[in-house]
A and B are shown apart, each in its own frame.
Chain A
Amino acid sequence: MLTAMTMCGVVTIVQEGRFQMTDDAGVSHLFILKHSAAAEPQQLESLQARQARVRVHYKPAANLIGNTVNAIDLAG
């Protein structure tokens, strides 16, 4: 997890264990919740409903255009 990158933004779309987050620069990125992540897919929906600002710890995924998420924190 120490080697993961972080990004802050607002959760805009949630489908199953995948979500789209729009960062502070207005660029949207696709994230996939890893099976080992502490967060569960059911928790993503409430983040999207509240348009919560979050920080994700992620790594780019191999062989697809997206990022895998190890952890999500609420950011100020």
Chain B
Amino acid sequence: MDMHPRIHDEPRSEFDRVIPNESELTAGVRIEPGKSYGFFTDTTVCIGCKACEVACKEWNNLPADNLGLTGQSYDNTGSLSANTWRHVAFVEKAGPDGVRGNTQPSFQSGWLMMSDVCKHCHNAPCLEACPTGALFKTEFGTVVVQQDICNGCGYCVPACPFGVVDINTLDGKAHKCTLCYDRLKGGLEPACAKSCPTDSIQFGELNDLHARADRRVEQLHGLGVDSAYLYGVPGGPGATGGLGHLNAFFLLTERPEVYNLPVAPTNPSSRIVPSLLSGLAAVAGLALLAVGLLANRE
């Protein structure tokens, strides 16, 4: 990423004020309402440092949970939850004989590391399921839970095809990544993207990110990594079944299930009409029978 000309306006490292439109300097994008923003996560450059997990917890004042060790490689967080909105997955790959190889191609391939997050789906099932209107689509194309409206009915939880949103039983409401909605409104890029040291998590406008991602996949194929593909782009795995596309999409090198992602999720609201029609037809049929039996004028 080339240096933005505005860099020269901010020569010092002292931060005594918020820099207006800081994301222009840190992410190369000016944040404007009405455009669609998201994350492109390039897992091939993730080093598993978990700076994203820490930055997210710090900015959002989330409590430390998942206390203890799991024994699942370096993943002691486990999964996304009401108090964990960024989760780095670790998978150690074995060779065909079950032992990790000593010789590997020059591209790092023995470890898979991927920072999981809310996908901010274009046709978000959680939003469609929410009966109070707490979940809404912001002016930046992201999906946010309004904490002053949510009554903790929990219907968004099974609706999510990625198992992201969860209820916090202590405060009684649903929580998930907000894509740092408050930071976006202040012209700052999300905390996780800002803290990522390798730019594995790239924040930007969706069209831009798609172009960048396509170029990166091409580059990887050229380097011999034929298994690289995009997850969550229109028409690809993860963006199936009426979800449209995922504002937070990924570059992966193994099957989605390896990263705990579904290959072909669906938007659940497509099942409402078939269900209602079938149920009402059955009840109507039985009602007609009842009319025949009980409604006779004797």
Decide if A and B touch, CB cutoff 8 A: yes
Q: Which residues of A contact B (CB under 8 A)?
A: 13-20, 30, 32-36, 40-42, 61, 63-66, 68
Among B9-17, B34-42, B167-175, the stretch that binds chain A is B167-175
Contact A34 B64 (CB under 8 A): no
Q: Count residues of chain B with CB under 8 A from any CB of chain A.
A: 18
Query: Is B18 positioned at the interface, with any CB of A under 8 Å from its CB?
Result: no
Contact B173 A15 (CB under 8 A): no
Most buried by A among B60, B64, B152, B171: B171
What residues of chain A lie closer than 8 Å to B83, measured between beta carbons? 64
Task: From B59, B63, B172, give the contact of A64 (CB < 8 A).
Answer: B63
Task: From B64, B148, B152, B170, give the contact of A32 (CB < 8 A).
Answer: B170
- Closest Cβ of chain A: how far from B42's Cβ, in Å? 28
Contact A63 B148 (CB under 8 A): no
What residues of chain B lie closer than 8 Å to A40, measured between beta carbons? 148
Query: Is B69 positioned at the interface, with any CB of A under 8 Å from its CB?
Result: no
Report the Cα distance A63→B59, complex, angstroms: 21
What residues of chain A lie closer than 8 Å to B175, measured between beta carbons? 16
Contact A15 B61 (CB under 8 A): yes
CB within 8 Å for A17 and B171 given contacts A41-B147, A64-B67, A65-B67: yes
What residues of chain B lie closer than 8 Å to A20, measured between beta carbons? 61
Contact B61 A34 (CB under 8 A): no
Contact B171 A32 (CB under 8 A): yes
Report the Cα distance A26→B133, complex, angstroms: 40
Contact B148 A64 (CB under 8 A): no
Contact B64 A61 (CB under 8 A): no
CB within 8 Å for A41 and B170 given contacts A64-B83, A65-B64: no
Contact B63 A35 (CB under 8 A): no
Task: From B59, B65, B67, B170, give the contact of A68 (CB < 8 A).
Answer: B170
- Closest Cβ of chain B: how far from A73's Cβ, in Å? 19
Contact B65 A34 (CB under 8 A): no
